[in-house]
């Protein structure tokens, strides 16, 4: 189900949207909808990645990470554990002559 929203766009940006929509043979609304969906998906992925990296580096708590990443939290905990374990293993190897 779709809902209507009103947004204000800069005139120059709107001209670019219309030119691109003409080129692609889609309506202005369709182009904005597709671009927005793609942008949101990309941003969401980047945000998830950043949250996970900050957790592995110990900058955010497990609770905060889990609330943001949901079911993926378990994999990120596994990465954190393995990052730490791998470093310990290599440090152990380095101590050997």
Partner 1 sequence: MLAFDTSALVSLSVGRVLPQALAIVKPVVTKTVLKELRSMASVKDELGMAAASALTQLSDIRVERVRREPTAEKELVLVVKRKRATTLVTDDLGAVRMAEASGVDAMFSVHVLYLLHQRGRVTRGEALAALERMRLGRVWKQNVIYQAAADLFGI
Binding stretches for partner 1 (CB under 8 A): 45, 48-49, 52-53, 56-57, 72, 75-76, 78-83, 85-87, 89-90, 93-94
Taking phi over 0 as left and psi of -120 to 50 as alpha, with beta for the rest, 25 belongs to left
Find the distance separating the first CA and the last CA of the chain, reported in whole Å: 67
Smaller CB separation from partner 1, 15 or 46: 46
Smaller CB separation from partner 1, 33 or 85: 85
What torsion, rounded to 10 degrees, do the Cα atoms 11, 43, 70, 49 define? -160
Smaller CB separation from partner 1, 20 or 90: 90
């Amino acid at each position: 189900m779709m809902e209507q929203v009103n947004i204000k766009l800069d005139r120059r940006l709107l001209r670019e949207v219309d030119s691109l929509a003409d080129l692609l043979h889609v309506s202005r609304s369709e182009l904005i909808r597709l671009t927005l969906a793609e942008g949101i998906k990309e941003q969401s992925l980047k945000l998830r990645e950043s949250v996970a990296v900050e957790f592995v580096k110990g900058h955010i708590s497990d609770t905060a990470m889990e609330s943001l990443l949901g079911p993926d939290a378990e994999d990120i905990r596994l990465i954190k554990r393995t990052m730490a374990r791998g470093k310990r293993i290599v440090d152990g190897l380095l101590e050997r002559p």
